[in-house]
Amino acid sequence: MDIGTIILAVSLIIIMFGMGLSLVKDDFIRLIQHPRAIIVGLLNQIILLPIIAFLLISIFDVGADIAIGLMILAACPGGPTSNLITYLAKGDAGLSISLTTANSLITIFTIPFVIDFALSHFLDAKEMVQIDKLQTVIQIFAIVIIPVSLGMALKKAKPAFADKMNKPVKIASAAVLFLVIIGLVLKKKEDLIPYLQLAGITSLALNVFTMLVGFATARLFKLNLVQSLTISVESGIQNGTMAIAIASGILMNDNYAIAPAVYSLIMFLTGGIIIAVGIKTIGSKSTNGIK
């Protein structure tokens, strides 16, 4: 394992620890008390997102590396960035955190199967790589659940300190992801333009379409505007750091990390648009809680 992979894993651990700092018992209680919004959100993130990714990959006919990278990204949960964008866009921060928490727990077990499908579908027989699903689950558990649990423990023991650190850590998480992307771009700079041409349009289509579908399904199930915006964000803002870590650290292929990196850059731009739209349309009407 090279130094870059180690730094990436440590960065992801810090990011997930930061997410744990924002979690309290009520976030888990909310999963039971308000199941409709949670179910709609998880439907979009765990089922519709990989399906939409696969369909768009088929339509745009991208190469195997880009296709696998996008499927890895689609299999990952939302991350702290989605929580921050939701908060800034006047969305339902509690719902966002609850969805990220539930999704992070569930995708530990679904990610290996999505990756296995992507590898078997997009690679030739001679290129096929077999992954150890149990080992992959354990690795993801180690870099997701353990740091989140430690963050929650600190939140319970030192709530004032955790609250003080919550927002700076989320902002730092976004900065870490940006630096990771820059590092990857520099590492693959010779192949960057062809990869951008291949991954850019598909990544943009995936990001925009999943956010639109997230919003539409939320409204279809009669969720309010604040909840619908939140599910839209959670559907389109993915944990790019985790996707890159899986590609480079678990699958040991930096080429698979290019598409998640491109997608992450795009989602910062679309996230900014969502923030502007949320402030304009919701503004002071947001209660920042589930109704």
**pLDDT tens sequence across 124-164:** 755 556 666 677 777 777 777 788 788 888 888 887 877 77
CB neighbours (10 Å) of residue 126? 5
Instruction: Kindly tell me if the per-residue pLDDT of 1 is higher than 60.
Output: no
Instruction: Kindly tell me if the per-residue pLDDT of 8 is higher than 90.
Output: no
pLDDT at 95: 84
**pLDDT tens sequence across 41-74:** 999 999 999 999 999 999 988 888 899 999 999 9
For the chain, what is the radius of gyration of the CA atoms? 18
Judged on CB neighbours under 10 Å (0-12, 13-18, 19+), 193 is exposed
* Mean pLDDT across 168-183: 69
Residue 69: both structure tokens together: 């990278």
Q: What is the mean pLDDT of the chain?
A: 80
Instruction: Kindly tell me if the per-residue pLDDT of 198 is higher than 50.
Output: yes
Please name each of the domains of the chain with its CATH number.
Answer: 3-279 (1.20.1530.20)
Tell me how far apart the alpha carbons of residues 240 and 180 are, in angstroms, rounded to a whole number: 10
Tell me how far apart the alpha carbons of residues 210 and 208 are, in angstroms, rounded to a whole number: 6
Tell me how far apart the alpha carbons of residues 78 and 46 are, in angstroms, rounded to a whole number: 10
CA distance from start to end of the chain: 47
Instruction: Kindly tell me if the per-residue pLDDT of 84 is higher than 70.
Output: yes
Instruction: Kindly tell me if the per-residue pLDDT of 291 is higher than 50.
Output: no
Residue appearing with tokens 């650190």: 165
**pLDDT tens sequence across 12-44:** 777 777 777 766 666 667 667 778 888 999 999
pLDDT at 288: 45
Instruction: Kindly tell me if the per-residue pLDDT of 107 is higher than 70.
Output: yes
Q: Which residue has the higher pLDDT, 286 or 268?
A: 268
pLDDT at 247: 86
